[in-house]
Amino acid sequence: MGYPTGKGKAGMGAYPQIGVNTEPLPQRHVPPQAEQPAKTDDDDWKAHIRRPPPDERFRTEDVTNTKGNDFEDYFLKRELLMGIFEMGYEKPSPIQEESLPVALAGKSILARAKNGTGKTGAFVIPILEKCNTTKNVIQGLILVPTRELALQTSSVVKEIGKHMNVQCMVSTGGTSLREDIMRLYNEVHVVVATPGRVLDLANKNVCNLKQCHMIAMDEADKLLCPEFQPIIEDLIKFLPQERQILMYSATFPMTILDFKNRFMAEAHEINLMDELTLKGVSQYYAFVEERQKVHCLNTLFAKLQINQAIIFCNSVTRVELLAKKITELGFSCFFIHSRMYQSHRNRVFHDFRNGACRCLVSSDLFTRGIDIQSVNVVINFDFPKNSETYLHRIGRSGRFGHLGLGINFVTYDDRFNLYRIEKELGTEIQPIPPTIDPATYT
Ligand SMILES: Nc1ncnc2c1ncn2[C@@H]1O[C@H](COP(=O)(O)OP(=O)(O)OP(=O)(O)O)[C@@H](O)[C@H]1O
Ligand SMILES: [Mg+2]
């Protein structure tokens, strides 16, 4: 493509950064720690809510096409409503509107909705509503496929539930089992976990799920892959008979049908996906040879207005190699994959989320669920092998109806995959034009 490299430009901190001609990195909103809003018995409580400043950015129909309901329509506990409003949620998103009445009525749900449209809130809010925090028992179990997603989801539970005295515990592999056991001696109402660790704790009789009537499976199709499904089935045996299962994902391949029929045949089904890809995410491909990829990336860094970008590779080795190459080009970047120490993974996740770096090279560890609002560009340095992975990867940009960009490097060997994925998703991935209007993704 042959554009200037941008190498050596002044950047944030000690290292040059990609896209330095753009606005400063948006910082994550941290609600002020000052005194909590006073709880009064009259309608005045709303006046005390500390709402974050409204997000004035354009949002697509993926999240604005609602029936116009309000969170107050569901008769939620006041403490819960306060948490919801303080998260900056003004009105329920389409998936929240569809889920809340059904979940609150106690029915199991199998729900499919696009990436970044608020599925987490759709299952966290009913779990918190039904949680009686005066009882010292686990009442909700949220299963997710990765440790980073567990951390993210538990912070959503804690934030939404912050006026409810809810005790939420994260339990995942890669951390001390002993600490989890000690934690379970204290009060826990909601557990957010990856399947293996929580099954381990249940088998050891330290995690008591006898009164846990609600289980949410986020990224449910991933949790039902051959690696996880037997663990999930074993785990469900620890729950009471009259349990409610809430399954969410943006993708439900037919492979989940067997589980659905055996464990939740009566579930209410929600499918909000008349089309699969996000309206706000523009998708392009660049036809390249393997050896041109790094050069191409360099060109993109110079040309695009990147707020934050996630660059996906298809293997751990390639993640490390690419991160090294990017650093050699003179740009600062982070990388993350499943073969790193958990403490290191946590630090990278935390720092990237807080805007310490614009660029993260990742394996499929970050493909699902990760919600970083300032990511506006996703680059598939290696083109994914299947349409589910493709959809979830590009869905890391364009969160909550915002605009984003998905760019794919496609080699000769990928050409059939590109064609198949376009067909399966009913979408068109355009050849990358010489310039992309920043208004379409910033
Ligand atoms: N009602 C709402 N109003 C405003 N923002 C919301 C609302 N619900 C969720 N959000 C925000 O939208 C973003 C995306 O939500 P979430 O991570 O739950 O999406 P998702 O549907 O689970 O996506 P994915 O399929 O990628 O996991 C989050 O930053 C969340 O805080
Ligand atoms: Mg999610």
Q: What CATH number does residue 245 fall under?
A: 3.40.50.300
Domain check: are 210 and 294 in the same one? Answer: no
Which residue of 120, 223, 364 sits with most ligand 1 atoms within 8 Å of its CB, as the best mutation to test the pocket? 120
Q: What is the domain extent for residue 428?
A: 281-440
**pLDDT tens digits, one per residue of 375-400:** 999 999 999 999 999 999 999 999 99
- pLDDT value for 134: 97
**pLDDT tens digits, one per residue of 62-121:** 999 999 999 999 999 999 999 999 999 999 999 999 999 999 999 999 999 999 999 999
Average pLDDT, the chain: 92
Q: What is the number of the ligand closest to the CA of 251?
A: 1
In a domain, 42, yes or no: no
Q: Smallest Cα–Cα separation from 402: which of 425, 377, 366?
A: 377
Of all protein residues, the one whose alpha carbon is nearest to atom 19 of ligand 1 is 116
CA atoms within 13 A on the CB side of 217: 30
Residue 29 above 80 pLDDT? Answer: no
Q: How far apart are CA 332 and CA 349, in angstroms?
A: 15
Q: Which residues line ligand 1 (CB under 6 A)?
A: 88-90, 92-93, 96, 113, 115-121, 250, 369, 371, 373, 395, 399-400
Domain check: are 264 and 376 in the same one? Answer: no
Of all protein residues, the one whose alpha carbon is nearest to atom 14 of ligand 1 is 116
**pLDDT tens digits, one per residue of 145-200:** 999 999 999 999 999 999 999 999 999 999 999 999 999 999 999 999 999 999 99
Domain check: are 392 and 318 in the same one? Answer: yes
Of all protein residues, the one whose alpha carbon is nearest to atom 22 of ligand 1 is 119
Instruction: Name the pTM for this structure.
Output: 0.92
Strand runs (DSSP E) across 162-303, as ranges? Answer: 168-171, 190-193, 214-218, 244-249, 268-271, 281-287
**pLDDT tens digits, one per residue of 278-317:** 999 999 999 999 999 999 999 999 999 999 999 999 999 9
- pLDDT value for 41: 59
Domain check: are 202 and 107 in the same one? Answer: yes
Which tokens in the block code for residue 264? Answer: 């939740």
Domain check: are 388 and 294 in the same one? Answer: yes
**DSSP secondary structure string, 109-163?**
EEEE--TTSSHHHHHHHHHHHH--TTS-S--EEEE-SSHHHHHHHHHHHHHHTTT
Determine the distance separating the centroid of ligand 2 and the alpha carbon of 306, expressed in angstroms: 23
Determine the distance separating the centroid of ligand 2 and the alpha carbon of 219, expressed in angstroms: 7
Determine the distance separating the centroid of ligand 2 and the alpha carbon of 116, expressed in angstroms: 7
Of all protein residues, the one whose alpha carbon is nearest to atom 4 of ligand 1 is 89
